[in-house]
């Protein structure tokens, strides 16, 4: 069975839970790890470097790992080499994680308007400075990057970014096969993953990971075959479906017959467990159930639940209330065909909002406004 090497960490099978802001916190990672038997790599939601360096209270909670989580994987988002360097040094010196991923994929206008997120790799020298600062302060920690194809089809950046990553000592690169302009629309372009693998493979042996539109464990194997990539990063397919990680492990171990097809009752049990873990993590049951609300539609997708009941589930404010509503469902329902396939965000946007003159010179050495770092909503 193939494995993935991220610095000192062997990831077997080569499957990674994509960082998702507001989703891949410690409770969600715990659930996914329970289903995978601890196999795979599970990346935290994105942490902004400035908030980390300033020891913002909420940020310090976000970087919490369960005692059994190994390796501990943190994703950072930063736009300023100095601040990124300080954040990485803090993680290394204070032993806060075992792996650092850097996010260059965020497409939200609030961030690209300032030159951050998926707009940043266009400025090759700035990208290089950030990577250099990160690797230079990481000690023995492996640093990886995650990016998109580019800003739009006329401004692709992934091949240059892959080369710069190799030159700056990055341990692995992951590519989401969409441009920023696409947001989550259309289909991910797996050909670009193959092209990046070839491009990086010509100068280095660092792993290339593919990301985008893996909705089933079979999709993961298909992407690896189609692109030659060394591992897969799975995001939206896990929303309301943490057992997908069990399927991924089964697929790579040749146990396709073990794919989970949970009944409504089994899904309801996972829902209660997820909400319980969130409550424990937040130190308050009600806050946990409220944070869980966003997951309800994903867990119940395709099941015969009814809009009124979906609404009730999504406004529950205690575990007892949530469990009570769930017990009123037809719990014998088998896993519905309608639950397979795409889930989560699938929409797009035409034009990427950028700072004035951003596209004029890919090699100028201007920095990015610190306010490009305020976003917390992902990639």
Contacting positions for ligand FMN (CB under 6 A):
18-21, 23, 45-46, 75, 103, 105, 146, 176, 211-214, 234-237, 344-345, 378-379
Closest distance between ligand FMN and the C-beta of residue 346, in Å? 9
Look up residue 155 and give its two tokens. 């401004």
Closest distance between ligand FMN and the C-beta of residue 64, in Å? 16
> How does 24-43 read in b/e, with b if 16+ C-beta sit within 10 Å?
bbbbbbbbbbbbbeebbbbb
Q: Of these residues, 32, 106, 229, 238, which one is catalytic?
A: 106
Q: Which is nearer to ligand FMN, 140 or 347 (CB)?
A: 347
DSSP characters for 247-283?
HHHHHHTT-GGG-----HHHHHHHHHHHHHHHHHHHT
Active site residue 229: no
Q: Which is nearer to ligand FMN, 150 or 212 (CB)?
A: 212
| Per-residue DSSP letter, 114 | T
Q: Which is nearer to ligand FMN, 136 or 344 (CB)?
A: 344
**Bridge partners, 143 (sequence order):** 100
β-bridge pairing 15-17 and 231-234: parallel
Q: Which is nearer to ligand FMN, 85 or 212 (CB)?
A: 212
353: CB partners within 8 A, 6+ apart: 109, 112, 113
SS3 318: coil
| C-alpha gyration radius of the chain | 20
Closest distance between ligand FMN and the C-beta of residue 190, in Å? 11
Q: Which residue is nearest to ligand FMN (CB)?
A: 378
Q: Which is nearer to ligand FMN, 294 or 351 (CB)?
A: 294
Closest distance between ligand FMN and the C-beta of residue 175, in Å? 9
CB-CB contact of 336 with 303 (8 Å): yes
Q: Beta-carbon neighbour count of residue 379 at 10 Å?
A: 26
Closest distance between ligand FMN and the C-beta of residue 249, in Å? 17
Known catalytic residues? 106
């Amino acid at each position: 069975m193939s494995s993935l090497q991220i610095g000192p960490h062997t990831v077997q099978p080569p499957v990674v839970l994509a960082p998702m802001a507001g989703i891949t916190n410690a409770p969600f990672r715990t659930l996914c790890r329970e289903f995978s038997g601890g196999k795979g790599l599970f990346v935290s939601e994105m942490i902004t470097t400035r908030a980390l360096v300033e020891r913002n209270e909420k940020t310090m909670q976000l970087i919490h790992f369960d005692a059994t989580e190994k390796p501990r994987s943190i994703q950072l988002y930063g736009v300023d080499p100095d601040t990124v360097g300080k954040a990485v040094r803090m993680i290394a010196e204070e032993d806060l994680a075992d792996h650092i991923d850097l996010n260059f994929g965020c497409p939200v206008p609030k961030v690209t308007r300032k030159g951050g997120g998926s707009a940043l790799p266009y400025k090759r020298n700035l990208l290089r400075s950030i990577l250099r600062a990160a690797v230079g302060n990481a000690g023995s920690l492996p640093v990886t990057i995650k990016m998109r194809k580019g800003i739009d089809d006329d401004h692709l950046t992934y091949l240059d970014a892959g080369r710069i990553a190799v030159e700056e000592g990055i341990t692995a690169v992951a590519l989401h096969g969409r441009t920023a302009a696409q947001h989550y629309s259309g289909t991910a372009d797996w050909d670009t993953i193959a092209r990046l693998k070839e491009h990086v493979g010509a100068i280095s042996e660092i792993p290339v990971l593919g990301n985008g539109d893996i909705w089933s464990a079979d999709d993961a194997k298909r992407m690896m075959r189609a692109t030659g990539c060394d591992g897969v990063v799975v995001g939206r397919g896990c929303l309301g479906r943490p057992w997908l990680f069990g399927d991924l492990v089964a697929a790579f171990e040749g146990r396709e017959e073990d794919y989970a097809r949970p009944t409504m009752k089994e899904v309801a049990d996972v829902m209660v467990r997820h909400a319980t873990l969130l409550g424990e993590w937040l130190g308050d049951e009600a806050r946990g159930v409220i944070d869980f609300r966003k997951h309800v539609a994903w867990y119940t997708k395709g099941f015969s639940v009814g809009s009124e009941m979906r609404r009730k589930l999504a406004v529950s404010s205690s575990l007892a209330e949530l469990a009570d509503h769930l017990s009123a469902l037809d719990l014998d329902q088998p896993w519905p065909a309608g639950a397979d396939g795409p889930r989560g965000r699938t929409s797009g946007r035409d034009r990427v909002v950028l700072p004035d003159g951003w596209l004029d010179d890919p090699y100028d050495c201007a920095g990015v406004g610190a306010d490009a770092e305020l976003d917390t909503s992902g990639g």
